[in-house]
Chain A
């Protein structure tokens, strides 16, 4: 390995070179023998499924965790980071997936937080403001230093995060799934910014599992599978499909419905549903829709536009201020969650650890959860342990839950297997309607295909499904009808057969409404 300084040489040393990185944890996929070479002044994408070990690798590069084996070289100089502070000093900056900004401070205050410019005893905000403007102009970030972060949109906040690491002198930027929170238009803007950063000679490490995006922005791509690098490719040489197959190591599922199974039977009818938050603001405003037997109604929307409240109101967890919910002709607006479940409402929650499973209970106890009033789990007031266990075995087999036994705690399973158990449980006992909130979030491709399959099969058996998802391909592919939710209102309906993700994205941000 070269230890020559890069200056003066005709070929630049790689900005980042990871060799033979190995990191072991008990029980989880770590990294083994990872080799990555990132050329200076390029956008380098790191792709892999959830849990493939991308985040661990980036934590190692950012000094948050030391590798068990292997070496890191920055600009050709071998380095060892004891902490993120070391990494920052070496010119590495990390933009986290979840923003770490204080809403009630201005951009300026957020950016300087932790590295405040001093002038004597006071703070030199004038110099900092000038420097932020300078960086913003140089890289086309279009950030006004004196605005309150609270007033900024998601895309702008992300640019503030990027500005923050640039302010600290980063020359190598790590972006951890930066597009996860953005709608398509914002993604395009971000990619424009990344190209400018690259043009100014910065190096970008871009972590993602959205392959179209990776192909459009990356100069080099490294694929990680089960903790190790399986391929390094150039975007010119691969297609999204090929890349995905490299990621999962096998052929890919696609979300699609074959023929329509929609019937005329109304199963779930919601009229005028309104929910007001504690401060009197409507979080759901006059929502009305009908789902028929055999129909999947997809709800698209940027997170936080009322989806969670809608789901909770439907499940009886949150009391609506107005409106009615009718299930198979019966008004259930005032019914308890238990009655709704007994009437045949299945529920796949958005956050499985909060609402879906008991982590410190066994799999068979988790099978009983939410179905504790119905056979095969109970006989009268008594638990039917044998019945529940036998049915758990059935779910484990039918839904391919990978576990050595149904007596282990749910916490021991991977997220995808926990999700398969939840789906299997909610599909048991003949539900008439399924409220599925992000049913495939955070699960691997194999489990995703299986979950789609089960939803398709249940739909053919006249199940009505409300599908909420942030994955627009999943929404378009799996829905019979598509509605867009924006600030608590259903603002548009689309035909999934003709709509494109871009059109949906416009509607989700409200851009589409002005046009129409």
Chain B
């Protein structure tokens, strides 16, 4: 990472903040055009934000989003596009839920049960992503295509396995089906927050740990260096003795393992079962969050919190008579404008740095000096 100067911090912030402001403006225009009052919308969201429960739910949602974003970012760092986080986490969550809910687990100590569940999820996620890595290094199949297809396969596998003859049980008095409820000892307790009926997931700390490890491995280890080098220039990495095939496999496995964690906070902290209403699509949200947070561990955390907040306040818009889809529009505009804004800032930076180097070495005159 670069050294922090007020200028570099400002440059780093200008793109996301600019994109947010732009997205807010676009959303306001759309609200006005459809006959809604933008101020009512802001008001409804602000009121929702004052309820502790919204904040707790936002944090909980953000936990999954963050893990998903880290999974995506591991691939992004070496220009590997793991679009399959979605399939990886759902498949991993289902199998891990099946294991955690199985009767034989009841006899094990709580810590072992939770650890086994999480480990199983990571292994399944890694294995599912590993298929794409294998196809890429042996047959040259683009990981974008293979992970998208694996997502579809995961969807069908999950619905095949999540049925009463297999991993699932019917819930009495409901048409929902899911894996057997994980009993008390297999759960991760949450934290009570005053004024909120929901608890903060205990696995929030898992996300923090993953974020820290992500930062440490990428910026402090040889592996992280080789990953970055491969992403910046594959040909230079090869000439430097980096085995690109090995990097593809390792980073894809790591990405998949982290993807396996995405469903864990929800599974072990609130749903205790993989059922038909287990959250879907978090893998794709992770792509947006990683883009918005520029693959940076802190940036992605902020982006995940923002996304979680927007998701949880969307409900309150319905009561204010504003269509909740405005949140989707807003998220879409943010992502689009942030990508454009980052590219503009990047170009500005390159030019500014060249100018600074030229200036420091006195090789070229700037326009002002020439005219002076």
Contact residues of A with B, CB < 8 Å? 22, 24, 26-30, 32, 226, 315-317, 336-342, 347, 349, 354-362, 365, 368-373, 378, 381-383, 385, 402-404, 407-409, 411-414
- Give the contacts of B218-273 with A (CB-CB under 8 A): 219-226, 228-229, 232-233, 235-236, 238-243
- Give the contacts of B1-30 with A (CB-CB under 8 A): 2-3
11 A-B interface contacts by CB (under 8 A): A24-B370, A26-B351, A32-B370, A337-B240, A338-B243, A349-B239, A361-B229, A372-B241, A403-B360, A404-B356, A408-B356
* B364 interfacial contact with A, CB 8 Å: yes
Contact between chains at A341 and B241 (CB < 8 Å): yes
- A385 surroundings in chain B (CB, below 8 A): 220
CB distance from A226 to the nearest CB of B (A): 8
* B363 interfacial contact with A, CB 8 Å: yes
Chain A contact residues: helix, strand, loop or mixed? loop
* B372 interfacial contact with A, CB 8 Å: no
- B220 surroundings in chain A (CB, below 8 A): 382-383, 385
Q: A315-B239, A383-B222 are in contact. Are A361 and B228 (CB under 8 A)?
A: yes
CB distance from A379 to the nearest CB of B (A): 10
Question: Once bound together, how far apart are the Cα atoms of A493 and B223, in whole Å?
Answer: 44
Contact residues of B with A, CB < 8 Å? 2-3, 219-226, 228-229, 232-233, 235-236, 238-243, 350-351, 353-358, 360-361, 363-367, 370
Contact between chains at A412 and B354 (CB < 8 Å): yes
Closest to B346 in A: A360
CB distance from B123 to the nearest CB of A (A): 23
Question: Once bound together, how far apart are the Cα atoms of A407 and B353, in whole Å?
Answer: 11
Contact between chains at A407 and B355 (CB < 8 Å): no
CB distance from A15 to the nearest CB of B (A): 29
- B222 surroundings in chain A (CB, below 8 A): 372-373, 378, 381-383
Question: Once bound together, how far apart are the Cα atoms of A414 and B232, in whole Å?
Answer: 19
CB distance from A75 to the nearest CB of B (A): 30
Closest to B361 in A: A402
**Residue among B229, B239, B351 facing the most chain A CB atoms (10 A cut-off):** B239
Contact between chains at B350 and A409 (CB < 8 Å): yes
Contact between chains at B229 and A369 (CB < 8 Å): yes
- Checking A336, A342, A354 against B236 with a beta-carbon cut-off of 8 angstroms, the contacting residue is A354
- Which 7 pairs show the lowest CB-CB distances between chains A and B? A338-B241, A27-B354, A404-B360, A370-B240, A355-B239, A337-B241, A412-B357
- B357 surroundings in chain A (CB, below 8 A): 27, 403-404, 408, 412-413
CB distance from B6 to the nearest CB of A (A): 16
Question: Once bound together, how far apart are the Cα atoms of A261 and B88, in whole Å?
Answer: 61
Contact between chains at A383 and B239 (CB < 8 Å): no
CB distance from A261 to the nearest CB of B (A): 28
- A381 surroundings in chain B (CB, below 8 A): 221-223
- B353 surroundings in chain A (CB, below 8 A): 408-409, 411-412
Question: Once bound together, how far apart are the Cα atoms of A242 and B229, in whole Å?
Answer: 44
Question: Once bound together, how far apart are the Cα atoms of A1 and B219, in whole Å?
Answer: 62
CB distance from B227 to the nearest CB of A (A): 11
- B221 surroundings in chain A (CB, below 8 A): 381-383
- B223 surroundings in chain A (CB, below 8 A): 381
**Residue among B232, B241, B351, B366 facing the most chain A CB atoms (10 A cut-off):** B241
Contact between chains at B367 and A347 (CB < 8 Å): no
- A408 surroundings in chain B (CB, below 8 A): 353, 356-357
Contact between chains at A359 and B361 (CB < 8 Å): no
Closest to B239 in A: A355
Question: Once bound together, how far apart are the Cα atoms of A176 and B360, in whole Å?
Answer: 31
- Checking B229, B351, B358, B367 against A358 with a beta-carbon cut-off of 8 angstroms, the contacting residue is B229
Closest to A339 in B: B241
CB distance from A27 to the nearest CB of B (A): 3
Contact between chains at A28 and B358 (CB < 8 Å): yes
CB distance from B360 to the nearest CB of A (A): 3
Question: Once bound together, how far apart are the Cα atoms of A365 and B237, in whole Å?
Answer: 12
Closest to B350 in A: A411
Contact between chains at B239 and A26 (CB < 8 Å): no
Contact between chains at A26 and B240 (CB < 8 Å): no
Contact between chains at B239 and A317 (CB < 8 Å): yes
Seed contacts A24-B370, A356-B236; 20 additional CB < 8 Å A-B pairs? A26-B358, A27-B351, A30-B364, A32-B365, A341-B240, A349-B239, A354-B236, A361-B228, A369-B240, A370-B239, A370-B241, A372-B226, A372-B242, A381-B223, A383-B219, A383-B221, A383-B224, A409-B353, A412-B350, A412-B357
- A342 surroundings in chain B (CB, below 8 A): 241
Question: Once bound together, how far apart are the Cα atoms of A139 and B289, in whole Å?
Answer: 65
Question: Once bound together, how far apart are the Cα atoms of A24 and B358, in whole Å?
Answer: 13
Contact between chains at A338 and B354 (CB < 8 Å): no
Question: Once bound together, how far apart are the Cα atoms of A290 and B232, in whole Å?
Answer: 36
Q: A373-B222, A382-B220 are in contact. Are A360 and B366 (CB under 8 A)?
A: no
CB distance from B230 to the nearest CB of A (A): 10
Closest to B360 in A: A404
Contact between chains at A359 and B233 (CB < 8 Å): yes
CB distance from B354 to the nearest CB of A (A): 3
Contact between chains at B356 and A22 (CB < 8 Å): no
**Residue among B225, B226, B236, B242 facing the most chain A CB atoms (10 A cut-off):** B236
Closest to B2 in A: A407
CB distance from A388 to the nearest CB of B (A): 10
Question: Once bound together, how far apart are the Cα atoms of A370 and B3, in whole Å?
Answer: 24
Contact between chains at A355 and B241 (CB < 8 Å): no
Contact between chains at B365 and A360 (CB < 8 Å): no
Question: Once bound together, how far apart are the Cα atoms of A358 and B222, in whole Å?
Answer: 16
CB distance from B297 to the nearest CB of A (A): 17
Contact between chains at A22 and B354 (CB < 8 Å): no
Question: Once bound together, how far apart are the Cα atoms of A403 and B360, in whole Å?
Answer: 8
- Checking A22, A360, A407 against B3 with a beta-carbon cut-off of 8 angstroms, the contacting residue is A407
Contact between chains at A337 and B366 (CB < 8 Å): no
Question: Once bound together, how far apart are the Cα atoms of A409 and B352, in whole Å?
Answer: 11
CB distance from B274 to the nearest CB of A (A): 36
- A370 surroundings in chain B (CB, below 8 A): 239-241
Question: Once bound together, how far apart are the Cα atoms of A22 and B233, in whole Å?
Answer: 36
Contact between chains at A338 and B242 (CB < 8 Å): yes
CB distance from A316 to the nearest CB of B (A): 8
Question: Once bound together, how far apart are the Cα atoms of A392 and B220, in whole Å?
Answer: 17
- B2 surroundings in chain A (CB, below 8 A): 362, 407
- B356 surroundings in chain A (CB, below 8 A): 404, 408, 412
Question: Once bound together, how far apart are the Cα atoms of A175 and B267, in whole Å?
Answer: 71
- B367 surroundings in chain A (CB, below 8 A): 24
Question: Once bound together, how far apart are the Cα atoms of A79 and B366, in whole Å?
Answer: 27
CB distance from A112 to the nearest CB of B (A): 38
- B360 surroundings in chain A (CB, below 8 A): 403-404
Question: Once bound together, how far apart are the Cα atoms of A382 and B232, in whole Å?
Answer: 20
CB distance from B244 to the nearest CB of A (A): 11
Contact between chains at B364 and A358 (CB < 8 Å): no
- A404 surroundings in chain B (CB, below 8 A): 356-357, 360-361
Closest to B241 in A: A338
- Checking A27, A336, A356, A361 against B239 with a beta-carbon cut-off of 8 angstroms, the contacting residue is A356
Contact between chains at A411 and B361 (CB < 8 Å): no
Question: Once bound together, how far apart are the Cα atoms of A356 and B229, in whole Å?
Answer: 11
CB distance from A397 to the nearest CB of B (A): 15
Q: A22-B370, A404-B360 are in contact. Are A373 and B241 (CB under 8 A)?
A: yes
- Checking B224, B233, B361 against A354 with a beta-carbon cut-off of 8 angstroms, the contacting residue is B233
Question: Once bound together, how far apart are the Cα atoms of A370 and B229, in whole Å?
Answer: 10
Question: Once bound together, how far apart are the Cα atoms of A226 and B365, in whole Å?
Answer: 11
Closest to B354 in A: A27
Question: Once bound together, how far apart are the Cα atoms of A171 and B366, in whole Å?
Answer: 37
Contact between chains at B370 and A26 (CB < 8 Å): no
CB distance from B78 to the nearest CB of A (A): 12
